[in-house]
Copies of this chain bind each other. A is one copy, B any other.
Amino acid sequence: MSARDRVELAVIGTHRAAVLEALGAEFTLHEVESFDDVAGSLGAAAERIRGGLSSPMIGLSAPMMDALPKLEIVALFGVGLERTDLTHARERGIVVTTTPVLYEDVADTAVVLAMDVSRRITAGDRWVRAGHWGAGGPPASGKRFSGKRAGILGMGRIGRLLAQRLAAFDMTIGYYDPRPAPDVDHRLYSSGVELARESDFLFLCAAGGPGQRDLVDAEMLAALGPEGVFVNIARGWLVDEKALVDAVVTGTIGGAGLDVFADEPNVPRTLREADNVVVLPHIASNTVESRHAMDQCMIDNIRSWFATGKAVTPVP
């Protein structure tokens, strides 16, 4: 195949060398350097681009699409869609694919964050590393994890995998979802606040469309209460972060396990310094295994589309 016949792809955001090598062997890749000016970045190639790669934190805006008149498919790394204008993509007939191969890791992270906060794991490790064991008083007692009441906000794929895991810890599981899941046996609550009121652990697993903000607010945190633990493995902007900081500091809630924040990579100092909070750098899906599977999934979607006209994991 001559260079002239090769399909041309726009590479938006940072992707691993293995992905660029694999796709570069079959396609001509053009790196987009300015996300605000895709046409300017790509020059004459913009007219020829038929496919692309992007990441959830950059996504694919309507102006990006409009700069690429022949765009047929964009493969996103991850499963977040908040920066991608799906409505516009549908109007244009552009296929958007995600990498739905990371859910187990995210559900695992939710479990470990909840247990870490209640059992004081990172706090205990910090205490031992600082040399306090033997030198100070006894270590602080945590609270039991097993047998408690778990509330899941959002009963999608991650929520279901989380419920499967929590059930093995003999937990009572409830959930709130604006779209009830008829195949799920757990109790459906009428609102997030009602769910929080009867939960020891409140897990935010909502997908979070573009319209949603501050799904978890001061009222819901107050309902969770001073013994409750809040866990967020979804998106930071689904939470009123100021209210969360207040709730943690004042003891309105017992603690929080957070993988995501409103303004990443910035984490409010209060959260970074709190002993009843665990702060992770957005790694819920960040395992070697998931990253490889996500890379491969992007590659497979692009290859499959241009070989057969079908994507592997398109957004419906």
Q: Which of B141, B265, B283 contacts A124 (CB 8 A)?
A: B283
Q: In the bound complex, do residue A134 and residue B265 qualify as a contact, i.e. CB atoms below 8 Å apart?
A: yes
A113 to B119, CA, bound (A): 11
A127 to B279, CA, bound (A): 9
Chain A residues 85 to 138 lying within 8 A of chain B, measured CB to CB, are 104-105, 107-109, 111-113, 115-116, 119-122, 124-129, 131, 133-134
**Residue numbers in B under 8 Å from A113 (CB-CB):** 121
Q: In the bound complex, do residue A287 and residue B143 qualify as a contact, i.e. CB atoms below 8 Å apart?
A: yes
Q: Which of A51-59, A71-79, A161-169 forms part of the interface with chain B?
A: A161-169
Q: In the bound complex, do residue A112 and residue B116 qualify as a contact, i.e. CB atoms below 8 Å apart?
A: yes
Q: In the bound complex, do residue A111 and residue B105 qualify as a contact, i.e. CB atoms below 8 Å apart?
A: no
CB distance from A280 to the nearest CB of B (A): 5
A170 to B125, CA, bound (A): 28
Q: In the bound complex, do residue A288 and residue B143 qualify as a contact, i.e. CB atoms below 8 Å apart?
A: yes
**Residue numbers in B under 8 Å from A105 (CB-CB):** 119, 144-146
**Residue numbers in B under 8 Å from A108 (CB-CB):** 115, 119, 144-146, 169
A288 to B120, CA, bound (A): 12
Residue A139 at the chain B interface, CB threshold 8 Å: yes
Q: In the bound complex, do residue B144 and residue A283 qualify as a contact, i.e. CB atoms below 8 Å apart?
A: no
A145's closest neighbor in chain B, by CB? B108
Q: In the bound complex, do residue A125 and residue B287 qualify as a contact, i.e. CB atoms below 8 Å apart?
A: no
**Residue numbers in B under 8 Å from A133 (CB-CB):** 264-265, 267, 281
A169 to B111, CA, bound (A): 10
The interface on chain A, measured as residues whose beta carbon lies within 8 A of the other chain's beta carbons, has a size of 55
Residue A247 at the chain B interface, CB threshold 8 Å: no
Residue A278 at the chain B interface, CB threshold 8 Å: yes
Q: In the bound complex, do residue B143 and residue A280 qualify as a contact, i.e. CB atoms below 8 Å apart?
A: no
Q: In the bound complex, do residue A281 and residue B122 qualify as a contact, i.e. CB atoms below 8 Å apart?
A: no
**Residue numbers in B under 8 Å from A282 (CB-CB):** 139
Q: In the bound complex, do residue A287 and residue B111 qualify as a contact, i.e. CB atoms below 8 Å apart?
A: no
**Residue numbers in B under 8 Å from A157 (CB-CB):** none
CB distance from A260 to the nearest CB of B (A): 12
User: With contacts A141-B291, A144-B287, A286-B141 known, is A111 near B115, CB below 8 A?
Assistant: yes
Q: In the bound complex, do residue A280 and residue B121 qualify as a contact, i.e. CB atoms below 8 Å apart?
A: yes
Listed A/B pairs (15) with beta-carbon separation below 8 Å: A108-B169, A112-B112, A112-B121, A116-B116, A119-B283, A128-B279, A129-B272, A129-B273, A129-B279, A141-B283, A142-B288, A144-B287, A144-B290, A167-B168, A168-B169
- With A120-B283, A143-B289 known, 6 other A-B pairs at CB within 8 A are A134-B264, A134-B266, A141-B291, A142-B288, A144-B290, A168-B168
